[in-house]
């Protein structure tokens, strides 16, 4: 059993927790993930490590309530326990030799982007962060990005906070001003957002790393749901986001195929979420 040390709502649907897990906290690197189960009868879900505190033996996770398991986890409080917390898994984000990096995060993907920005900052790189949200109410982790970034741009789709527009707007402006401004762009967020970040960077030939966490389900390579097609020259190569990634060369990813496959699970997640909500409502009564 793994104890929940702290719990905090970052916005109405996004929750941050610290889990007592000394071995994970000691080994985890930015970009890696864990697999947890809320209880013995629960499903396994992968969640990216959002930070660690090895001295306290704490591993931070940030999740959006979208399905049955995250709905159930939302009702846990500090001092409660979850059944399993396994990791770290996946390949850590590559940082060696990168001196100027642009981190582009969208929505809850910022929870994954944030520790990556912090790691580059700690290594002495020049960090530019662009984070985007649908509106001001969904904004998360602004202060953490400020501390880890030489320059931070906040975007909202409706203009209710920061700049009005999507994350590709300032990215294009920066690249047009100086095509050699960044050694690498790392983008983490919704698939459609990452696709357009790649398209925005392509004319400038800047390397783009994308995190394919959004398509992971089982997290061990057995379910096959996170299979990913990479286009490498005239070859189409299949990889798995969980065991081969989650980071990949953005120019090689077939985003249209990945988005089509991810939509297959939308109705299932919504149904599981509704069932769990109804169960907790009955228990409260």
Residue 269 pLDDT? 46
Residue 268 pLDDT? 45
Residue 17 pLDDT? 96
Residue 14 pLDDT? 93
> Where exactly does CATH 3.40.50.80 map onto the chain?
100-264
Q: Which CATH superfamily is domain 2-89 in?
A: Translation factors (2.40.30.10)
Residue 284 pLDDT? 47
Q: pTM to 2 decimals?
A: 0.84
Average pLDDT of adjacent 10-residue blocks, the chain of 285 residues:
95 94 95 91 88 95 89 93 93 92 95 93 96 95 96 96 96 96 95 95 96 71 73 88 84 89 56 46 50
DSSP 30: T
Candidate CATH numbers 3.40.50.150, 3.40.50.80, 3.40.50.720, 3.40.50.1970; the one for domain 100-264: 3.40.50.80
Q: How far apart are CA 183 and CA 97, in angstroms?
A: 9
Count CB atoms within 10 A of the CB of residue 163.
15
| DSSP conformation letters of 186-233 | EEES-HHHHHHHHHHHGGGT--EEEE-GGG-SSSSSSS-TTEEEEEET
Per-residue tokens: 16: 């941050």
């Amino acid at each position: 059993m793994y104890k929940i040390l702290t719990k905090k709502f970052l916005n109405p649907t996004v929750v941050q927790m610290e889990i007592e897990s000394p071995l994970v906290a000691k080994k985890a690197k930015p970009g890696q993930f864990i697999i947890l189960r809320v209880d013995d009868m629960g499903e396994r879900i992968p969640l990216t490590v959002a930070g660690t505190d090895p001295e306290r033996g704490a591993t931070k996770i940030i999740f959006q309530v979208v399905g049955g398991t995250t709905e159930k986890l939302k009702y846990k409080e500090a001092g409660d326990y979850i059944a399993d917390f396994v990791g770290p898994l996946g390949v850590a984000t590559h940082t060696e030799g990168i001196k100027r990096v642009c981190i582009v995060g969208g929505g809850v993907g910022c929870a994954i982007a944030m520790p990556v920005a912090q790691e580059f900052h700690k290594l002495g790189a020049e960090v530019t962060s662009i984070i985007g949200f649908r509106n001001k109410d969904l904004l998360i982790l602004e202060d953490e990005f400020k501390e880890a970034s030489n320059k931070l741009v906040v975007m909202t789709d409706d203009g209710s906070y920061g700049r009005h527009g999507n994350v590709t707007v300032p990215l294009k402006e920066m690249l047009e001003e100086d095509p050699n401004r960044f050694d690498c762009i790392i983008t983490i967020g919704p698939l459609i957002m990452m696709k357009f970040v790649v398209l925005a960077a392509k004319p400038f030939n800047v390397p783009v790393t994308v995190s394919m966490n959004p398509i992971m389900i089982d997290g061990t390579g057995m379910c096959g749901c996170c299979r990913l097609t990479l286009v490498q020259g005239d070859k189409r190569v299949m990889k798995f986001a969980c065991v081969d990634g989650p980071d990949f060369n953005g120019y090689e990813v077939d985003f249209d195929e990945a988005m089509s496959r991810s939509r297959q699970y939308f109705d299932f997640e919504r149904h599981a979420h509704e069932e769990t909500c109804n169960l907790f409502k009955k228990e409260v009564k």
